[in-house]
């Protein structure tokens, strides 16, 4: 879609939003149309301003969050400070320096299970996970919850990490696959040594 065509389409959706907000209908059809139009406007704006392309299934205006894929989410924070204090709404649980997003869309990557994202060998994968997580941190998140392994970027700062994330995790998954064999060999060697000692 060329810029001029894109602008015309976005202008059309903005007019639709305006018209739908002027009237109400008992079936909720106007509300449904308004939400669909708002989602399209958000998608156009983010692509134009930040170079972020979202899927056509994106329904941010309706739900205020969007799952991009495994471990990734875009969500709206109204006031993280108030939400955290009152225990309602959306906030960062263990935010570093107590920083919270206020009136902003945020892209987040989170790993509540830590090293288990690479499989069941938690102890063997701890260092690998730490290296992976530290590489993600080089993309300078705006907010961090290191306790829960969650990183957050304001949407305007998220393009680079959003486009790099899948390649980064794939690199560490492949590294883990190679290391699993070595860890198994070392474990078997240690068990054999113990057996020899007990003879």
Dmax (CA) for the chain in angstroms is 87
Query: Residue 171: how many CB atoms within 10 A of its CB?
Result: 12
Q: Whole-angstrom Cα distance, residue 161 to residue 137?
A: 10
Do 103 and 167 fall into the same domain? yes
Under the phi-then-psi rule, with left for phi > 0, alpha for psi from -120 to 50, and beta for the rest, what region is 190?
alpha
Do 71 and 51 fall into the same domain? no
User: HSE (CB half, 13 Å, CA atoms) of 136?
Assistant: 33
**Predicted TM-score (pTM) of this structure:** 0.84
Do 43 and 73 fall into the same domain? no
Q: Whole-angstrom Cα distance, residue 99 to residue 80?
A: 8
| SS3 (DSSP) at 104 | strand
pLDDT at 2: 53
Q: Which of 37, 58, 79 is the last residue of a domain?
A: 58
- 41-67 mean pLDDT: 89
pLDDT at 135: 98
- 120 pLDDT tier (thresholds 50, 70, 90): confident
- The percent of residues in the chain predicted with pLDDT above 70, rounded, is 97
pLDDT tens-place string over residues 28-42: 888 889 888 998 899
Do 114 and 183 fall into the same domain? yes
Do 43 and 93 fall into the same domain? no
- 96 pLDDT tier (thresholds 50, 70, 90): very high
Domain that holds residue 12: 1-58
Q: What six digits make up the tokens of 140?
A: 């300078």
Count of structural domains, the chain: 2
| SS3 (DSSP) at 198 | helix
- 193 pLDDT tier (thresholds 50, 70, 90): confident
């Amino acid at each position: 879609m060329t810029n001029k065509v894109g602008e015309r389409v976005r202008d059309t959706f903005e007019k639709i939003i305006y018209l739908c907000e002027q009237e109400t209908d008992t079936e909720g059809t106007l509300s449904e149309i308004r939400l669909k139009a708002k989602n399209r406007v958000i998608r156009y704006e983010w692509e134009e301003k930040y170079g972020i392309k979202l899927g056509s299934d994106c329904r941010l205006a309706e739900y205020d969050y969007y799952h991009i894929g495994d471990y990734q989410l875009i969500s709206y924070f109204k006031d993280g400070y108030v939400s955290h204090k009152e225990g309602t709404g959306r906030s960062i649980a263990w935010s570093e320096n107590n920083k919270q997003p206020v009136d902003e869309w945020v892209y987040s990557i989170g790993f509540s299970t830590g090293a288990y994202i690479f499989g069941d060998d938690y102890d063997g994968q701890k260092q690998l996970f730490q290296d992976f997580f530290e590489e993600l941190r080089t993309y300078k998140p705006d907010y961090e919850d290191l306790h829960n392994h969650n990183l957050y970027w304001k949407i305007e700062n998220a393009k680079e990490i959003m486009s790099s994330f899948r390649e980064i995790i794939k690199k560490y998954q492949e590294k883990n696959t190679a290391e699993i064999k070595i860890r198994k060999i070392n474990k078997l060697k240690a068990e054999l040594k113990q057996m020899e000692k007990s003879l």
